[in-house]
Amino acid sequence: MYLDYGKPERTRAPEPLLMWPTADPVPAPGCGVCGMLAEERGSAYGARDMSRVTDLNVRIRRHPS
C-alpha cells in the first residue's frame, strides 16, 4: 500500500531533493577530484555565482570517496 504516502501531518521527514541542505559538503580527504571541486567552489563563492556553488556542492556530495 503506497497510497498513504504524502501526508505531512505528523511526520516531517526531511526531503533532500526539495529542501537544500544549508551546510556545504566536505570534500573527501585525499581525493583530488573533490579537492579540485572544493577549490572551484571557493572561487565560485568569490564570484558570488551561487548556481555554480550549488552545482559544485552536488558534484562533491555525489562523488564516491
Please report, as ranges, the residues that interact with Zn ion according to CB under 5 A: 28, 31, 33-34, 63
To Zn ion, the closest distance from the beta carbon of 61 in angstroms equals 10
CA distance 49 to 46: 8
CB-nearer residue toward Zn ion: 44 or 56: 56
Q: Residue 35 is placed in which grid cell?
A: 579537492
To Zn ion, the closest distance from the beta carbon of 37 in angstroms equals 8
CA distance 36 to 22: 21
CB-nearer residue toward Zn ion: 13 or 62: 62
